[in-house]
Amino acid sequence: MSRNVIRYFARGNTAKGLHSLLESNIQGVKQVFLVDGGTPAERAACLKQLADRLLEEGVAMELLHCPGDPDQLEGIIATEKGAAILIKQAASAITGPHVHYVNISGQAAVPADKQQEITKLAEQAEIARQNAYTCFQKALAVHDEWEDIYIQRLDKKRANELADELVARLISRTSKNAKGTVRHRFLGAATPKGAVDFVGNLTDGLSKRYFIKGRAGTGKSTMLKKIAAAAEEKGYDVEIYHCGFDPASLDMVIVRELGFAIFDSTAPHEYFPERATDSTIDLYKEIVPAGTDEKFESEIKEIAERYRQLMNKGTAYLAESKKCREKIQACYPQAPNQQVLASTCNDIISKL
């Protein structure tokens, strides 16, 4: 994968429902192309063809993956061309004079006997998706119980000191005398395949990576918020990656101008240092009294099991929703028209 390409989610299936951070990532874009018409498969194929062609040309890109099917794209931001190409259904709130609508023409009519089936399947897909959000919401409440065990016992003074030490180490004392751009994204997402993230791709090429270890409630997100705020205050461009489960929480901060990423390296996005320049920050060892895990072992085990069951159930509902959408696609009478797709892609590329 070219270092000119980064991958992330701009929308997420979260405990707060379907949550979008898309607008943060298209700020400053001069043109937005919203792809509509055709079938869902044709729209996805259109974006894949566009991404492949731009990659061949060496264009720097941000590829926005779909949380409903992480193997598919729902957006492309061609940064050096100042353009975004988005599937309209994922970007319906985007409006303005810089927005251009691109319609995939030539969709074959759906047989009358399939119309009712499609309507029913669409309803079932939405019900399954909402059931997933209900499971995630319940799981978040269980996760709060987990956090409370550590919140009540952590050394807040040491936690604040450690955050200040990291800010001093990571953020240059010299301000840039400019206002940086802050972009909000998701580190990963809950998908029909389970949790998916792009940590490896996002941190590729950075000179320093900091892996934050710890337990639920040990202040990982709070620390990241302080680092992000300090970088923004100094005028740096900051990439803020939110938790795909709880969007109010942060999972990673990247400041490419300073060459670093610092992220929550615990499940479901647990990684370990593999480069000489990687560093680990263990908040459990730093700010939690020794023996806390052992003292509350049975309670933690019971909470973890309830949490696991709810997350698995939510994932199963997302998979059910995806299966319904696949059945809808099967109702259409033809495969994607490659000639029409090529024409649509040519039209978009000619305007970039």
Per-residue pLDDT of 106-161, as tens digits, reads 766 787 889 999 999 999 999 999 999 999 999 999 999 999 999 999 999 999 99
The answer to whether 11 and 23 have CB atoms below 8 angstroms apart is: no
Which 3 state secondary structure label does DSSP give 14? strand
As a whole number of angstroms, the distance between CA 132 and CA 320 comes to 10
What is 65-124 written as a DSSP string? Answer: EETTEEEEEEEEEEGGGTEEEEEGGG-TT--STTEEEEEE--PPPPPHHHHHHHHHHHHH
Residue 53 predicted with pLDDT over 50: yes
pLDDT of 336 reads: 74
Mean pLDDT (whole number) for 75-85: 97
Lowest mean pLDDT, pick from 23-27, 105-109, 122-126, 327-331: 105-109
User: Strand runs (DSSP E) across the chain, as ranges?
Assistant: 5-9, 11-14, 17-20, 31-37, 61-66, 69-78, 83-87, 99-104, 182-186, 188-191, 194-197, 208-213, 238-242, 250-255, 260-264, 278-282
Percent of the chain with pLDDT over 90: 89
Q: If we measure between CA atoms, which residue out of 170, 144, 105 comes closest to residue 340?
A: 105
Which 3 state secondary structure label does DSSP give 231? helix
Question: Cβ contacts of residue 21 below 8 Å, gap of 6+?
Answer: 10, 11, 12, 184, 185, 186, 242, 247
As a whole number of angstroms, the distance between CA 262 and CA 254 comes to 7
Give, in order, the Cα–Cα distances in Å from 27 to each of 51, 78, 82, 84, 306: 20, 13, 10, 10, 40
The overall average pLDDT reported for the chain is 95
The answer to whether 33 and 85 have CB atoms below 8 angstroms apart is: yes
Domain spans in the chain, listed from the N-terminal domain onward: 5-108+335-351, 154-288
Which 3 state secondary structure label does DSSP give 6? strand
The predicted-structure confidence for 192-243, as pLDDT tens digits, reads as follows 999 999 999 999 999 999 999 999 999 999 999 999 999 999 999 999 999 9
The predicted-structure confidence for 60-77, as pLDDT tens digits, reads as follows 999 999 999 999 999 999
Which 3 state secondary structure label does DSSP give 155? coil
**Residues forming a β-bridge with 7:** 63
Mean pLDDT (whole number) for 239-263: 98
The predicted-structure confidence for 282-318, as pLDDT tens digits, reads as follows 999 999 999 999 999 999 999 999 999 999 999 999 9
* Residue given tokens 């969709």 in the structure block: 107
Lowest mean pLDDT, pick from 19-33, 62-76, 169-183: 169-183
Could you tell me the pLDDT band of residue 1, with boundaries at 50, 70 and 90? very low
User: What would the two tokens of residue 270 be?
Assistant: 């647990």
Give, in order, the Cα–Cα distances in Å from 250 to each of 56, 71, 187, 208, 226: 34, 24, 9, 19, 11
pLDDT of 337 reads: 80
Residue 177 predicted with pLDDT over 90: no
pLDDT of 2 reads: 58
